[in-house]
Structure 1
Amino acid sequence: MTLDIEPAEPRSRSDQIAQILEDQILTGRFSPGTRLDEASLAEEHKVSRTPIREAFHRLAQSGLVVQQPRRGVFVRISSPVEILEMFEVMAELEAVCGRLAAKRATEAAIEELREVNAECHAACDAGDIDRYYLKNGVFHHLIYALSGNRFLEQEASRLHRRLKPYRRMQLFLRGRLQQSMDEHEAIVEAISAGTPERAAELLRDHVAVQGEKFHHVMSHLEQQG
């Protein structure tokens, strides 16, 4: 099976810089409307301009920046309402993926899902949020692929990329890492048991709570500001 997933490791320098910039945008170092200077960022991160441009491209995919011809790259943070609306759609897309995966996944594919989930478990036990976040991405993309619907897989992957920084942010809330892991375990068992509606319900709730948790993160950041 060919999966449309991003490799969990190793990450390129541009990926690392993109993650750093994501955090800095979401935590207020760069406010909405700020122009990101390619030259100064290249100097700050001790790289050429190429990884910075690649990082900008990744940020644009997540909707965190807009690239304006002949003007530059500017910070754009979606409104809380827009983000929650995207999470609502993502929850429904993942629910459909889970429902179809529970109907169509082979035993070999389910074993692969268990192996990926075990890697998530190891990261959770180690308290390694960054590693969990990367393995979690592999877990979700695998479920998209197991749906057996290529169009659905592509649409779910596209919105997943758009929500990446927000999905990562909510993992830093106290207790959320273990909660997410517990949700993973139930999802794997539902798909393995071939219970489509249960798998759909679990995935819908798993993503919906991510939107709720992200809202809590942003409220906390606003209070600090």
Structure 2
Amino acid sequence: MARTKNDKPDPTAVLRRAIETGHFMPSQRLVETELAAWLGTNRSNVKLALGKLEQEGLVVSEPNRGARVRVISEREALEILQVRTALESLIARQAAEKATSADHDRLREILQNMRDAIDQEDFTGYSGHNGRLHAEIRKISGHETASRLLAMLNSQLVRFQFRTILYPGRIHQSLREHTEIVTAICAGDGDRAEKAMRDHLANVTETLGRSLAALAQLAV
């Protein structure tokens, strides 16, 4: 957990994680006095944290009504995935060009953890390892600007993540795609790594679109 200079949990990081994990739901009001008590801090720190999260697109402030968790529309989620595809494809190429043998070992280890999670039917675990693999690729690439933008975009997509993982047949396809990404990076092949990442995220986008369409059909 991120901490402040006084070794206390960073209110912004705690609130961000609470929103990402569903502790605070879309449209839920975020009352400063209640948050201050929950976080064990003062309203000034809460106000500052809410301002930062508003810049990240997780919170929206309304005149005379305070702050609430921003609702990410289905259309916006798909648009965010399209932007993410461009950024992560760039990062995959750079990771392939910069990765060391130690980096290769870490990527392969995470990939094995993903395989183990599937064998154990641990979808939550698979999702976590998936996120760690992408984070490791960002770290290897050393592209700070793209990594910063992706961190902001990905935080807005968390509530849609399980819709793709749980889509019939998707988790095994996902593992094959991540295997190709890791193989390309470990081979030092930037072109192949970029294409593998682009293909992977194009499939994620397509799967999310199908999942949302099916959900809309059920609501009719």
TM-score band, normalised by shorter chain: 0.7 to 0.9
Which of the residues 153, 156, 170 maps onto 2:164? 170
Unmatched 5+ residue regions in structure 1?
A: 1-11, 26-33, 43-47
Give the whole-Å Cα distance in 2 for the aligned partners of 1:132 and 1:16.
Answer: 20
CA contact (8 A) 1:61 1:162 kept: no
Q: Is 1:223 paired with 2:197?
A: no
Structure-2 residue corresponding to 1:96: 90
Structure-2 residue corresponding to 1:111: 105
Which of the residues 57, 73, 95 maps onto 1:79? 73
What CA deviation, in whole Å up to 9, does each residue of 1:131-160 have, x standing for no partner? 111111110011111112222222222222
Q: TM-score, normalised by structure 1?
A: 0.72
Give the whole-Å Cα distance in 2 for the aligned partners of 1:215 and 1:20.
Answer: 22
Structure-1 residue corresponding to 2:186: 192
Which of the residues 191, 198, 213 maps onto 2:207? 213
CA contact (8 A) 1:63 1:77 kept: no
Q: For residues 109 and 216 of structure 1, do their structure 2 counterparts lie closer, same or farther at Cα, with a shift above 3 Å needed?
A: same
The amino acid of 2:202's aligned partner reads A
CA contact (8 A) 2:85 2:202 kept: yes
Structure-2 residue corresponding to 1:9: none
Unmatched 5+ residue regions in structure 2?
A: 1-13, 41-45
The amino acid of 2:150's aligned partner reads A
Q: For residues 83 and 13 of structure 1, do their structure 2 counterparts lie closer, same or farther at Cα, with a shift above 3 Å needed?
A: closer
Q: TM-score, normalised by structure 2?
A: 0.74
**Deviation beyond 4 Å, 4+ runs, structure 1:** 12-18, 56-65
CA contact (8 A) 2:30 2:68 kept: no
Q: Considering only CA atoms, is the larger Rg found in Structure 1 or Structure 2? A: 2
Q: Quote the RMSD (CA, aligned, Å).
A: 3.2
Give the whole-Å Cα distance in 2 for the aligned partners of 1:116 and 1:223.
Answer: 37
Which of the residues 13, 16, 21 maps onto 1:19? 21
Q: For residues 17 and 76 of structure 1, do their structure 2 counterparts lie closer, same or farther at Cα, with a shift above 3 Å needed?
A: closer
Count of residues in correspondence between the two structures: 196
Q: Is 1:156 paired with 2:158?
A: no
Give the whole-Å Cα distance in 2 for the aligned partners of 1:16 and 1:176.
Answer: 27
Which has the higher mean CA deviation after the structures are superposed, 104-113 or 63-72?
63-72
Secondary structure, aligned partner of 2:60: strand
Give the whole-Å Cα distance in 2 for the aligned partners of 1:20 and 1:155.
Answer: 22
What CA deviation, in whole Å up to 9, does each residue of 1:9-48 have, x standing for no partner? xxx89957752457x75xxxxxxxx54476xx99xxxxx7
CA contact (8 A) 1:144 1:156 kept: no
